[in-house]
Copies of this chain bind each other. A is one copy, B any other.
């Protein structure tokens, strides 16, 4: 099943920061990993990903560095301390959001 892009809004940054919190990665790698890891449910589009990475970098939530490996130059991203703090915040927000939606749709709005 495909997830509508509107549902994705607001959730993409937390996914990216989560990946970078595990290990340094480059953009193209993140698109492939997101696709395989979620069995194609999420497809981190390049037109979405790269602008976000640039914003995260200018906000100093991640740092970029070029690194050559296997004869390929890639732009790697590393999460910063601020980025980890932001991730922690966004994770709390997500948890509250998700459980509140669940509460409404499970109880149908009953008080």
A-to-B contact residues, CB < 8 Å:
1, 3-11, 14-15, 18-19, 21-22, 33-34, 36-38, 41-42, 91-94, 96-98, 100-105, 107-111
> CB < 8 Å: which of B4, B21, B22, B37 contacts A10?
B4
- Bound: A86/B71 CA distance, A: 50
Looking across the interface, which residue of chain B has its beta carbon closest to that of A3?
B97
Q: Assess the B104–A37 pair: CB atoms within 8 A.
A: yes
Please give the count of copies of this chain that the complex contains.
2
Looking across the interface, which residue of chain B has its beta carbon closest to that of A96?
B1
CB distance from A101 to the nearest CB of B (A): 6
CB distance from A39 to the nearest CB of B (A): 8
14 pairs, A vs B, C-beta closer than 8 Å: A1-B93, A3-B93, A6-B9, A6-B10, A7-B94, A9-B9, A15-B104, A18-B108, A19-B104, A22-B110, A34-B109, A37-B104, A42-B100, A98-B101
CB distance from A27 to the nearest CB of B (A): 14
